[in-house]
């Protein structure tokens, strides 16, 4: 029944329509993963363009490239886009594609729920961006502090788009997380015990739990804000005796775990890349996993470190500062474990490895500035300055993005059967690494030199213009690298060097499949007896593809769930309901009808036998 796909399938002549229908109705975790990644890369580009607009505006003192209102919209959309529409979905996409493969599963536990998550992400993102064409984008920062977000101070509908767009993508995140948790806990191939799971799978598991526990706090905060804005309630209104600080607690109770939601999978990615290119197993697997879980727990006890300046009692502030600093311990454990994975290894400096090493080196800087910010009196000086901008870009760009780019070079051959060009990859890496430091290193000094965040311009004579100009040049250097990356992907897709099943001599289960993997992933249950299923520990080498194939007994029958259009219909219904709350209730009613039709269709459809 099951036949292995060719390593490099000859493109079949298919009509555009059938291809379109195939992708719109797919429940294959790999196609869904690719669409997540493509969507996220698109928004990474959009968020990057917004960043460039910000940098052009700040390149010199008293510039008027952007009106301050537009500037506020840019900074809000840059932050919101990068966190919710780029970082989270790109990790969800990589997780979608690789978690089932790495644990020897045929698909995610709930394939249609998986598709629903994808469509909610895409449609919710588009809803958010519709704001640009409907009177104005959100303009009160990605943290959206009340009362600046209330109708009085942000009268156009931008904030409503922000609330509802993110609620729609939030449903996607929670649905996806539940799917990851169930998949990882229940769908592992028999030999893949918990303590044999690849570290990336562990980090996706912990991140999924963080999403499930953190996102409801954001949703509650957003619902209350929506009611305040549109129905006259006063949850955040000081004039009726409430406190706007409530928003900050609810938001950061979500917002700080959110940082780990995006950074833990990034830790997982480098934990896969570094060992393979050092030809050594990960150093201190158990310590790394415990550290991951520890960070997950502690991340819920640190949220008020974003709020040291709001007037917390000193003992409370100190406690939150101390708990934030404690996170440095598990993080340091990880850093040293990565370094000692390379220690005495045989390091191949491929593009993927260069990005992974840069990640370790840069994340250290973000961690050190984080400790400084955790000490409350220093934070009083540095919070809301460019020092913080520098700090979190070293963790999010230096952390998340560098490791994701590394993962793109690492896994592209598996996903598309061809390698990305390594020479252009290295040019991309150099431009990104140099540009990144050029952009964000000077921001440390700007912060120490009193430059606040989120200002649309600054006065001449303060001495901030030189470093700001350097940062702007750096941003365009990154942009140049990104253009090369995009071209590299497009060209390599057609003309890249054929990869074979296992181009990097990886030892986790995704390398046991063809490149790209067939729809059913594995012909049979792959045997797993260690953390490195493809490693021959006697001969100290990676199994050849032929040896791997010989190990797997093909199943007689392969059952795959049928494609379904209903996730798309349900997602459209939910998004239209959200849009209705912004425009007119009539549209919301239409959305409810579509939603219900989708749910009925979903239930009626025969799933599997």
Partner 1 sequence: MRRICVLWQIIGGWAVALAVALLVLGMFPAVTFAAEPPWFLNPASEQAGQVARLFNIELLVATLVFFIVEGLIIYVVIRYRQRGPDDPVPKQIHGSTVMELTWTIGTSVALLFVLIVFWQTMTTLAAPPADAATLEVVVRGQQWWWEFEYPEYGFRTANELYIPVGQPVEFVLESDNVIHSFWVPRLGGKVDVVPGQQNRFWFQADKPGEYFGQCAELCGVQHAGMRFKVFALPPEKFAQWAEEQQQPAVEPTTDLAKFGKELFFTKGCAGCHAIAGTQAQGRIGPDLTHFASRTTVAAVAPRTDGNVARWVYNSEAIKPGNIMWQTMKNVPLSSEEVDALVAYLQGLK
Residues 321-340 that bind partner 1 (CB under 8 A): 321-322, 325-326, 328-329, 332-333, 335-337, 339-340
Q: How many CB atoms lie within 10 A of CB 496?
A: 19
- Between vectors from CA 408 to CA 494 and to CA 196, what angle results, nearest 5°? 125
Subset of residues 29 to 68 that bind partner 1, contact rule: CB under 8 A: 67-68
- Shortest distance (Å) from residue 286 CB to partner 1: 7
Residues 343-362 binding partner 1 (CB under 8 A) are 343-349, 354, 357-358, 360-361
Stretch that binds partner 1, among 98-106, 258-266, 317-325, 396-404 (CB under 8 A): 317-325
11 Cβ contact partners less than 8 Å away, ≥ 6 residues apart: none
What angle (nearest 5°) sits at the alpha carbon of residue 114, between those of residues 111 and 119?
Answer: 130
Stretch of 7-15, 96-104, 370-378, 588-596 contacting partner 1, by CB under 8 A: 370-378
Applying CB under 8 A, among 53, 365, 420, 576 the residue interacting with partner 1 is 365
CB of 147 to partner 1, least distance (A): 5
In 450-576, which ranges are E strands? 535-536, 541-542
Positions in 155-214 near partner 1 (CB under 8 A): none
Q: Is 473 in the site for partner 1 (CB under 8 A)?
A: no
How many beta carbons lie within 10 A of that of residue 374, not counting itself?
21
From 206-214, 315-323, 515-523, 545-553, give the range in contact with partner 1 by CB under 8 A: 315-323
Tally the residues of the chain. Answer: 609
Complex with partner 1: residue 72 or 217, whichever CB lies closer: 72
CB-based burial of residue 550 (10 Å sphere; 0-12 exposed, 13-18 middle, 19+ buried)? exposed
Residues 103-142 that bind partner 1 (CB under 8 A): 140-141
Q: Which two tokens stand for residue 338?
A: 């990565």
Residue closer to partner 1, measured from CB, 187 or 294: 294
Binding span for partner 1 by CB under 8 A among 260-268, 398-406, 447-455, 575-583? 447-455
* Helix axes of 351-374 and 386-395: crossing angle, nearest 10 degrees: 140
Q: Confirm or reject binding of residue 313 to partner 1 (CB under 8 A).
A: no
Q: Is 316 in the site for partner 1 (CB under 8 A)?
A: no
Binders of partner 1 among residues 261 to 300 (CB under 8 A) are: 278-281, 283-287
According to the binding rule CB under 8 A, does residue 342 interact with partner 1?
Answer: yes
Query: Residue 444, by phi and psi: left (phi above 0), alpha (psi -120 to 50) or beta?
Result: alpha
Regarding 500 and contact with partner 1 (CB under 8 A), the answer is no
Looking only at residues 400 through 439 of this chain, which bind partner 1 when binding is defined by CB under 8 A? 422-423, 426, 430, 433-434, 437
């Amino acid at each position: 029944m099951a036949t292995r796909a060719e390593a490099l399938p000859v493109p079949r002549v298919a009509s555009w329509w059938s291809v379109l229908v195939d992708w719109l109705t797919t429940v294959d975790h790999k196609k869904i993963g690719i669409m997540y990644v493509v969507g996220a890369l698109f928004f990474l580009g959009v968020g990057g363009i917004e960043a460039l607009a910000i940098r052009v505006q700040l390149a010199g003192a008293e510039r008027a490239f952007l009106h301050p209102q537009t500037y506020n919209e840019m900074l809000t959309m840059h932050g919101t886009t990068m966190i919710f529409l780029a970082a989270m979905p790109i990790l969800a996409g990589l997780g979608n594609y690789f978690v089932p493969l790495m644990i020897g599963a045929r698909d995610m536990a709930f394939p249609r729920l998986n598709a629903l998550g994808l469509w909610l992400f895409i449609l919710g993102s588009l809803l958010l961006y519709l704001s640009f064409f409907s009177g104005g984008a959100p303009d009160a920062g990605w943290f959206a502090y009340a009362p600046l977000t209330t109708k009085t101070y942000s009268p156009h509908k931008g904030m409503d788009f922000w609330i509802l767009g993110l609620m729609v993508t939030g449903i996607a995140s929670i649905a996806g997380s539940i799917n990851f948790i169930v998949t990882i806990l229940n769908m592992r191939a028999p030999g893949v015990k918990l303590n044999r799971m690849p570290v990336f799978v562990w980090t996706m598991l912990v991140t999924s739990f963080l999403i499930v526990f953190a996102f409801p706090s954001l949703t509650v905060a957003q619902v209350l804000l929506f009611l305040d804005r549109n129905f006259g309630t006063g949850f955040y209104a000081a004039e009726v005796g409430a406190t706007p600080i409530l928003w900050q607690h609810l938001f950061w109770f979500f917002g700080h775990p959110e940082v780990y939601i995006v950074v833990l999978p990034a830790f997982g990615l480098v934990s896969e890349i570094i060992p393979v290119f050092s030809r050594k197993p990960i150093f201190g697997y158990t310590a790394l996993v415990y550290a991951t879980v520890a960070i997950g727990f502690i991340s819920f006890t640190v949220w008020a470190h974003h709020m040291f300046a709001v007037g917390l009692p000193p003992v409370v502030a100190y406690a939150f500062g101390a708990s934030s600093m404690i996170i440095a311990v598990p993080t340091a454990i990880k850093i040293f474990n990565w370094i000692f994975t390379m220690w005495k290894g045989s390091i191949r400096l491929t593009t993927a490895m260069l990005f992974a090493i840069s990640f370790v080196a840069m994340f250290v800087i973000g961690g050190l500035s984080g400790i400084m910010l955790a000490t409350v009196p220093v934070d009083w000086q540095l919070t809301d300055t460019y020092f913080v901008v520098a700090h979190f870009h070293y963790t999010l760009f230096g952390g998340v993005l560098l490791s994701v780019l590394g993962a793109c070079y690492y896994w592209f051959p598996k996903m598309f059967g061809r390698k990305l060009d390594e020479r252009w990859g290295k040019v991309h890496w150099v431009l990104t690494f140099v540009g990144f430091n050029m952009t964000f290193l000077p921001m440390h000094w700007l912060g120490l030199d009193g430059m606040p965040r989120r200002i649309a311009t600054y006065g001449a004579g303060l001495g901030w213009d030189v470093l700001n100009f350097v940062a702007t040049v750096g941003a365009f250097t990154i942009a140049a690298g990104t253009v090369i990356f995009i071209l590299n992907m497009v060209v390599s897709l057609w003309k890249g060097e054929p990869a074979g099943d296992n181009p990097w001599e990886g030892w986790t289960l995704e390398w046991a499949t063809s490149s790209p993997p067939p729809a059913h992933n594995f012909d049979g249950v792959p045997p797993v007896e260690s953390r490195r299923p493809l490693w021959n520990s006697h001969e100290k080498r990676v199994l050849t593809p032929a040896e791997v194939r010989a190990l797997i007994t093909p199943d007689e029958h392969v059952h795959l769930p049928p494609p379904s259009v209903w996730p798309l219909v349900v997602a459209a219904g939910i998004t239209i309901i959200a849009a209705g709350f912004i425009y007119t209730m009539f549209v919301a009613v239409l959305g409810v009808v579509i939603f219900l039709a989708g749910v009925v269709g979903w239930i009626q459809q025969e799933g599997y036998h």
